[in-house]
Amino acid sequence: MAEMLLELAGIGKTYPGVRALDDVSLSVRRGEVLGLIGENGAGKSTLMRVLGGVIAPTQGVIRVGDVEYGQLTVREATRAGIAFVHQELNLFENLDVAANVFIGREKLMGGRLKLVNNAQMRASVAPLLARLGADFSPDTLVDNLSIAQRQMVEIAKALSIDARVIIMDEPTSSLTISETERLLEVIADLKAHGISVIYISHRLGEIMTCADRVVVLRDGRTVGELARNELSHAAMIRLMIGRDLKALYTPPKRASEAGGCDIANLVTTAFPDRQISLSVRRGEILGLAGLVGAGRTSLARAAFGIDTILGGEIRIDNARVNVASPRDAIRHGIYLVPEDRKKSGLVLELPIRENMTLANLSNYARMWLIDGAAERKVAKEQAKSLSIKAPSVDIEAVTLSGGNQQKVVLGKWLSMKPRVMFFDEPTRGIDVGAKSEIYALMRDLADRGVAIVMISSDMEEVIGVSDRVAVMHEGGISGVLERDQFSEYNVLRLAIGQTLETTEGAAT
Ligand SMILES: Nc1ncnc2c1ncn2[C@@H]1O[C@H](COP(=O)(O)OP(=O)(O)OP(=O)(O)O)[C@@H](O)[C@H]1O
Ligand SMILES: [Mg+2]
């Protein structure tokens, strides 16, 4: 068995009213990929913040080699070879890649002035980037990089401090399908070089691909461990939620109907020289796949009246609708559940209750007074049906775990009456139990005659949930797959702008 690198023993962490971690123990061996899974709020990020020296535990010890700590500082963690690729990346956008990699450890020129030696820093970062297969140079401003590229910068930074353990907390939640594949290759390479990775994800397929061992947390406790040869979706789910999940995907109760939403020759501001044509029938869930930047979000924003429509038209049940603002869109029954919960979905300082009812405040307002009781009742029901883990609906959204914040955003939209609904990455960061509930909610909306477009970069989800899949490439639709054509391979081919290999039932 490989050498033990570090060990967390009996770790506890309490926040007011919340026992986030309770007697958790975890060890990491050299060169292994350790999967860390659990429902939203189970304590995964908290445990990793303890290991990264970001927060102090209330109990327990951390052993690194022969040294034992009651708590680590960030500096001690770094010195012990622990590096953190953050869930919310934190790089300096106005500095270049090399400066970010060496932040706080800048290489200086010889001589008195202690000038920063940019050339030398860039020269030492270049081979690290090459090793990661990065397609940008050390003097690129971080501001100009995509999320996937920024992640590579964080990993390069970890390599440059000779990290022995790299913590990745939901690293693929903002990556596209092909970027995810690339990251998994990088992880395999790190492992081959004896570097350990702690990998947190709600995408169990990724865990199956990369983990040597999986530790499962539930309600702040370790509830089990699975060796590589014991790994299966069912085994992981059983430990995570403490029971079997009947079915992750809810099948449709009835066939899709005529009518729905037709988008014809639509031109968006993001791709002014491309036209998009796409139909979603009532009762159908249309998956919308593609690389980040392929135009999926801008299509949704245009249909919802956020971005100006430059050409073409939108018809609902064969009647042309004019969408010049979100107000118009809502009037016609077009809704969008946006992708970035922090920017457009959630007010962190407000209680869960208000966040869930902000968008349709008028329903709860009587005589200019907000009917607090009605609001609380609706919020409580939504919180229950989405299994939001919180002591009450009156607490601020900011204290919730990432996935539970996403559920609050969804709760807000699900109480309305849509005809066409766009979901942009609806289950980003959401645990498997809650995912199945969200899929069931989408399916229920569809069964009630709503036309649904689900933008997703999660391959398993796209294939599992959708009735048809449209794939975008560089602002246009590169193909539409029917169920019998569904495969990761076909989605990927269309996403990179190639055509399908077989011509039978070819994409329209
Ligand atoms: N600063 C804080 N103040 C109060 N409670 C907190 C704080 N940070 C975390 N918690 C609580 O601790 C528990 C564990 O949260 P944590 O973020 O570790 O969950 P997680 O397993 O990472 O979940 P997710 O999968 O949703 O990211 C949750 O109940 C959360 O609300
Ligand atoms: Mg987390």
User: Residues 200-249: pLDDT tens digits?
Assistant: 999 999 999 999 999 999 999 999 999 999 999 999 999 998 877 777 88
178 to each of 172, 394, 425, 431, how far by Cα in Å?
10, 40, 16, 22
Percentage above 90 pLDDT, the chain: 49
The 10s digit of each residue's pLDDT in 121-141 is 899 999 999 988 888 999 999
Q: Are 415 and 374 in contact (CB under 8 A)?
A: no
Whole-angstrom Cα distance, residue 114 to residue 118?
12
The 10s digit of each residue's pLDDT in 265-291 is 999 999 999 999 999 999 999 999 987
Whole-angstrom Cα distance, residue 290 to residue 271?
15
Percentage above 70 pLDDT, the chain: 91
Q: Compute, in angstroms, the gap from residue 54 CA to the centroid of ligand 1.
A: 14
Task: Note the pTM of the prediction, 2 decimals.
Answer: 0.76
Q: Which atom of ligand 1 is nearest to the CA of 170?
A: 27
Q: Does 12 or 408 have the greater pLDDT score?
A: 12
pLDDT at residue 506, as a whole number: 47
Whether the pLDDT of residue 109 is over 70: the answer is: no
Q: Which protein residue's CA is at the shortest distance from atom 6 of ligand 1?
A: 399
DSSP 127-143: HHHHHTT-SS-TTSBGG
Confidence of residue 77 (pLDDT cuts 50, 70, 90): very high
Where are the domains positioned within the chain? Answer: 4-241, 259-333+419-498, 341-416
Whether the pLDDT of residue 463 is over 50: the answer is: yes
Ligand 1 pocket: which residues have CB below 6 Å?
A: 15, 18, 20, 38, 40-46, 389, 399-404, 431
Ligand nearest to the CA of 22: 1
Ligand nearest to the CA of 427: 1
**What CATH superfamily is the domain 4-241?**
P-loop containing nucleotide triphosphate hydrolases (3.40.50.300)
- Domain at 259-333+419-498, CATH from 2.30.110.10, 3.40.1180.10, 3.40.50.300, 3.40.50.880: 3.40.50.300
For the chain, what is the mean pLDDT?
Answer: 87
The predicted model gives 303-327 an average pLDDT of 94
The predicted model gives 496-507 an average pLDDT of 68
Whether the pLDDT of residue 37 is over 80: the answer is: yes
Same fold, 4-241 and 259-333+419-498: yes
State both tokens at 439.
Answer: 């899929």
State both tokens at 149.
Answer: 């590229």
Q: Are 244 and 238 in contact (CB under 8 A)?
A: yes
Q: Which protein residue's CA is at the shortest distance from atom 2 of ligand 1?
A: 399
Provide the 3-class DSSP secondary structure of residue 236.
helix
Q: Are 151 and 186 in contact (CB under 8 A)?
A: no
Confidence of residue 338 (pLDDT cuts 50, 70, 90): confident
